[in-house]
Structure 1
Amino acid sequence: MRTVITKDISHFSDFKNQLLYWANQHREVVFLDSNQYHQKYSSYDAVLAVDAFTSIKTDYENAFQDLYQYQSQTKDWLFGYLSYDLKNDTEALQSNNFDGLDFPDLFFFQPKKLFFIKDDEVEIQYLRMCDDEIEADFEEISTIISVNVTLSEVEVQQRIPKENYLSKVSKMLEHIHRGDIYEANFCMEFYAENAQIEPLEIYQKLNAISEPPFAVYFKNNFQYLLSASPERYLRKEGLKVISQPIKGTAKRSDDSVLDEQLKTDLAKNEKERSENIMIVDLVRNDLSHTATKGSVQVEELCQVYSFKQVHQMISTIVSEVENTTSPIEILRTTFPMGSMTGAPKISAMQIIEALEETKRGLYSGAVGYFTPTDDFDFNVVIRSILYNAKNQYLSFSVGSAVTSQAIPEMEYEECLLKAKAMFEVLLGKREKG
């Protein structure tokens, strides 16, 4: 049981920063920030969960079954992540590529302390065992003065050189032309060894550059995710399930006329639309595994949304489920998300594993939460920096959807566009590999 109280906050952005700095003293932290981006499906402007009372950490074997047991028995707020490699639990697949990060495949925790920010109020929920700390914690949070830290540059290296990348995309195209797949999301890693960073400062800078609707600051002891994700994987509201895959990217311009033209061009781009529609079909199929008959609908097709860094093409697919359907089953039958795999899904994942050189891990997985009433909301882990402070390994990956119309050089440029914000944060400039 939790004690719930509500407090007024006068300066939204200041309070968010104070809350983050206070949170960082804890071993487990999940901070989710919508950056007040206007969106139809949203519950809070920001959420903070800290300090595990119970937790689950496991590799991919029987991961969804273990999560089902944990979630169904706990029946409380749970925060954490699903890594991409949980694919190996649901299908006869493997992840044998290099892994410098060494994160568990799945991690969730039941937080002792929760903060839900909406407009000028914060709802605080503490487990009864520590509810006598609410007032002292709130006083401490309200008096924190954040200090700007000078960030040292990180020496970023590219796992797949440009020539190799172009060759691998060409091989992907061979698979497509043979009919093995229609589309696959091919990713490459940028990394730094012996990297010493201040994760919270890096996160705040990355978030300020992009201001996306699904930003995450995640900490589990010495493991960090600093995410500026614009994409929702899956949300459940009552009996309704919502998926919002992104496929289609265009750069932005400081010139408002040109910027509007770039947006219009993206909306009309047949290659980008075909990428998006292929994934919409895949998501419709995934949702049908748990949907009530005839309930899978496309609410929005190939709608262009603007973010600070890029324009993106987003579709919204919804379904209805029975009230007896487990939230874990909905996740299991749709994971990993189609926007990060391809179609057909299993063949695409097999080819991805063969051509990529890094284990994806939490990249292209999902971070989010379960509510006590079996609702949930999860993002897609993209535009993100992963960091293991113990072995000082830093990693970020970017990818693009390869279809029959793909031109390897343009796919490479799209990857660099998506990496731009991470380079700005870590190097102060954009680098080309």
Structure 2
Amino acid sequence: MGSKQISRSIAGSSISALAREFVDENLKTGGKIFGQAGFNYAAHIRRQEFKPGQWPLLSLLVPSIDLTFRRDEITIAGFDDDRVRELHDFIHNHPANFDRAHLKTTARIDTQENPEEYISRVEKALLEINRGNYVKVIPSRAVNIQDKVDMPATLLLGRRANNPARTFSLNHAGFQATGFSPELVMSVQERKVITEPLAGTRSCNGSEAEVERLRRELLNDPKEIVEHVISVKEAIEELERLCVPHSVTIDDFMSVRIRGSVQHLGSRVAGILSPDKDMWDAFEILFPSITASGIPKHTAIQAIQRLEHQTRELYSGAVIMIEDPECFEATLVLRSVFQDATRQWIQAGAGVISQSNPQRELRETCEKLASIAPFVVMESRP
């Protein structure tokens, strides 16, 4: 089948209006819709200035072939019967023959690269917080990787060592990412909208006794508790803008959730979507996650543009899956490796509030990078 490209101006309209149109049209076929929203999509929908990047603000697609893997079967579906049949015959007649020795060719990544630059970034954020500019912000740091990344191999190796909320790997128009997301931005299922803020972090490496000591430290650290509580409070306020009055509840509060080599404080906030709101309204209020931007969100997004020299691209954005008009899920893009035509990198941030210590926030980024850095597999060379 041939491909075609159609360009349309969004003057007098919006990206979200085109997204709704795309979703309404393509869900009629019965397939799923997948997509990605870059961090700068948040600035765009709030009419803020931002540094343009190379990656799309928003990208949605309907796959021509859909493979569903279960423990004992693979289901193949698609719009082209001949291609579905061809792929079925190939899988049936060609057992998997993956060279597992290739998984040992992991990248050498220094997760403590340029510590002074990040500490300076945190110190600037603390000055702005003390001036009353905002309450919380999440500055991040990117670590570049020299060689090309084998994304499927990274997915396989990393998934064995992580227990994320969601796992994903994408390659769309040359923009690639593989990640082990610790939390949901939001999900909507039959009008129930859920968001799960994670804020507060400790390492999960070491002996059982050491991990338990860090768990108790996490649960009793005043800075981590304050950071988590104000994030949950903000999540409640966002849902109250979207939901039926008095329907917002905290279903889980400040439980410890293990995500690979780190453990977090996590909560779940839920509500019933108002009749005059749809799932895209919910996404545009809850995106980006409070835990990847800050409080107030609008001001924190502006601060990130000042504090960080490189565009975030998909980092701290979202990957999206829409199964039907009442089922929308957006997963936060953290603990991920990114690759395009010009570079490949990993990235992590830490929540900065008035009680923050720059050295501790640097260490937190290293702890988070440890959930992805050891599992980045390089492309094999001839």
Query: TM-score, normalization: structure 1?
Result: 0.78
Q: Distance in 2 between matches of 1:372 and 1:274?
A: 38
The counterpart of 2:280, out of the listed 325, 328, 349, is 328
The reply on whether 1:270 has 2:226 as its aligned counterpart is no
Q: Distance in 2 between matches of 1:426 and 1:290?
A: 39
The reply on whether 1:310 has 2:262 as its aligned counterpart is yes
Partner of 2:117: 164
Residue aligned with 2:140, SS: strand
Q: How many angstroms does 1:353 deviate by?
A: 0.9
What's the C-alpha RMSD, in Å, of the aligned pairs?
2.9
Tell me if structure 1 keeps the 8 A contact 2:163–2:258.
no
The reply on whether 1:294 has 2:246 as its aligned counterpart is yes
Q: Distance in 2 between matches of 1:302 and 1:54?
A: 49
Question: 5+ unaligned residues in a row in structure 1: which ranges?
Answer: 1-50, 429-433
Q: How many angstroms does 1:427 deviate by?
A: 8.6
The counterpart of 2:32, out of the listed 70, 77, 96, is 77
User: Are the structure 2 counterparts of residues 374 and 172 from structure 1 closer, same or farther at C-alpha, using a change threshold of 3 Å?
Assistant: same
Q: Distance in 2 between matches of 1:205 and 1:123?
A: 24
Counterpart amino acid of 2:330?
Answer: F
The counterpart of 2:204, out of the listed 243, 252, 264, is 252
Q: How many angstroms does 1:123 deviate by?
A: 4.8
Partner of 1:91: 46
Q: Which protein is richer in strand relative to its size? A: 1
Structure 1 residues 2-401: aligned runs within 5 Å:
62-75=14-27, 76-96=31-51, 99=53, 102-117=54-69, 120=72, 122-127=74-79, 130-142=80-92, 143-148=95-100, 149=102, 152=105, 154=107, 161-192=114-145, 195-322=147-274, 325-388=277-340, 390-391=341-342, 393-401=343-351
Tell me if structure 2 keeps the 8 A contact 1:58–1:107.
no
Counterpart amino acid of 1:92?
Answer: R
Counterpart amino acid of 1:352?
Answer: I
RCO higher in structure (CA 8 A, sep ≥6) = 2
Moved more, 214-223 or 109-118: 109-118
Partner of 2:375: 425
Q: Distance in 2 between matches of 1:395 and 1:157?
A: 11
Q: How many angstroms does 1:265 deviate by?
A: 2.3
Counterpart amino acid of 2:128?
Answer: H
Q: Distance in 1 between matches of 2:123 and 2:240?
A: 33
Q: Percent same amino acid at aligned positions?
A: 20
The counterpart of 1:411, out of the listed 348, 361, 364, is 361
Residue aligned with 1:421, SS: coil
Question: 5+ unaligned residues in a row in structure 2: which ranges?
Answer: none
Q: How many angstroms does 1:368 deviate by?
A: 2.2
Aligned length: 370
* Superimposed CA distance per residue, residues 84-115 of structure 1 (whole angstroms, 9 cap, x where no aligned partner): 10122221322227x4xx22111111122223
User: Are the structure 2 counterparts of residues 365 and 351 from structure 1 closer, same or farther at C-alpha, using a change threshold of 3 Å?
Assistant: same
